[in-house]
Amino acid sequence: MSDMVTIKCIEGSLKGQTWTFHCVDTAIIGRMAKEDRTIVNKINVTGNDRISRFNTFFKIDPPYVIVRDMGSLNGTYVNGRIIGKREDGMSAEEGRRGSYREVRLKDSDVIGMGTAGYREQFIVNIEEEKPDGKMQISDIVNEAIKKQEEAEREYANAVVGLRILKTLGHGGFASVQLVEDVKTHKQMALKLMHPAAQTNPQKRFWFMREASVMMQLKHPNIVTTHQLLFSGRDFHILMEYCKGGSLEDLCANNGGKLGLRLATEIICQILDALDYAHNAQIIMESKGGKRQVRGVVHRDIKPQNILLAEDGTVKLSDFGLAKAFELAGQTAGGLPTLSGQYCGSALFCSRKQLNHYRDAKPEVDVWSAAATYYYLLTGRYVRDQNGCKDIYEYIYKNDVQPILTRNPGIPVRLAKVIDKVLKEEEKESSTYTTAREFKNQILEALK
């Protein structure tokens, strides 16, 4: 039997019901309407009006589970402590567009939502396969989580002379720490793979591929990777620290969108980074071994992966999903199709990327960059969410909205350039706008 995650309702209208997951998946808890029956893995709490329509979101990759609130009215709780809710006065749509803390769950954590007297509670049970084939509650994973920070501090101090200052972020199988060189006091970012995740060959491959790609890409608008560090079977990535935070943070701190001048300066720097990456000579693993190829596709361009240095320089980060487009379909350990894995962020993902994820070419990055520019200028995503049911329905059933419908103040010539790049043709085309061409078109439109 394989690793397994079970979500069981222990209090509320669904008490006693269980949902079981054996592979990578997502799930939503909410008060679902009849027309939402197509939503996959929707835990439907129809009888409790204290639960939002889209309340709580789970990312599941047994034995790992991440939970976050979806901008609900009354919040999501883990073991009685609130982890997220929308701000007072926000509409449900505004709440769903917000950014909320993600929490990695341990076995027997209790997830709650609603209000006193109208509470819904679910217990998450995590079971992991033993080497001998027998199942056990994931005590090994829980112990690794409990001791992770201590181990990371010991590693940083003992092996590479670094002192961990604070956690910058957590992902599904890695965390990023702010560290300081004990001799020079230089601050850097250290990406560490969670101990339990290192037993997964696929995740080890993604981690190593990201380090390999980033160490070969040398450009002022790409985060610098200093070293790939090894300690026994553990490995970590030492990177440039971008003190200005992410582009998502910048938008949030400026009322949700940016002015035309600043947004344009930012996107032009990202397009410079993409133009370089799409033409760079790099070494990549393929089924036949290592090969030198021209160009790498990022495949996950979005505001969260765009960082700001202290001097304001824009930096593209997180090449964990990157792939050499000359090796389309050939790279070893490549990501499975979307039926099994998440392909970047749906909010900034084109239909072409969804259709041809393994064979993605540079145009998918240019499209995502245009979607990011659109977001910076409008504070809105390119598609109407309409409940954002699942990745397929969101992308295929919702057309890109003309940018002037979101922000009529955008110059008409610029709006035409952005709308053209974001146009999704029904028929495949062999031509596309390159990153350099898109930048030049933006600048020409603003003359």
> Could you report the per-residue pLDDT of 11-44, keeping only the tens digit for each?
988 899 999 988 767 788 988 655 444 344 568 8
CATH match of 138-240 with 3.30.200.20: yes
Pairing of strands 174-181, 162-170: antiparallel
Tell me if 43 sits within 8 A of 55, measured CB to CB: no
DSSP per residue, 322-380:
-B-GGGTTT-TT----TTTS--S-GGG--HHHHHTSTT--THHHHHHHHHHHHHHHHSS
* CA distance linking residue 116 with residue 441, whole number of Å: 56
* 4-129 and 247-445 have identical folds: no
Nearest to 251 by CA among 302, 316, 320, 188: 302
Query: What CATH architecture applies to the domain 4-129?
Result: Sandwich (2.60)
End-to-end CA distance of the chain: 63
Specify the pLDDT at position 443. 97
Q: Consult the annotation and say whether 134 binds a ligand.
A: no
Whether 155 and 236 have beta carbons less than 8 Å apart is answered as yes
Distance, CA of 121 to CA of 12 (rounded, Å): 7
User: If 0-12 CB within 10 Å is exposed, 13-18 middle and 19+ buried, where does residue 134 land?
Assistant: exposed
Quick one: pLDDT at residue 338? 31
Angle formed by the axes of helices 260-277 and 435-445, nearest 10°: 160
Hey, which CATH number is domain 247-445, 1.10.510.10, 3.20.190.10, 3.50.50.60, 3.30.70.580? Answer: 1.10.510.10
pLDDT digits (tens, 9 = 90+) for 108-118: 999 999 887 77
Task: Count Cβ atoms below 10 Å from residue 81 Cβ, excluding itself.
Answer: 8
Q: How far apart are CA 42 and CA 29, in angstroms?
A: 6
Domain ranges, ordered by start, for the chain: 4-129, 138-240, 247-445
What is the C-alpha separation between 31 and 51, in angstroms, rounded? 6
pLDDT tens per residue across span 308-367: 999 999 999 987 666 555 444 443 333 323 333 444 477 898 888 876 666 678 999 999
pTM: 0.64
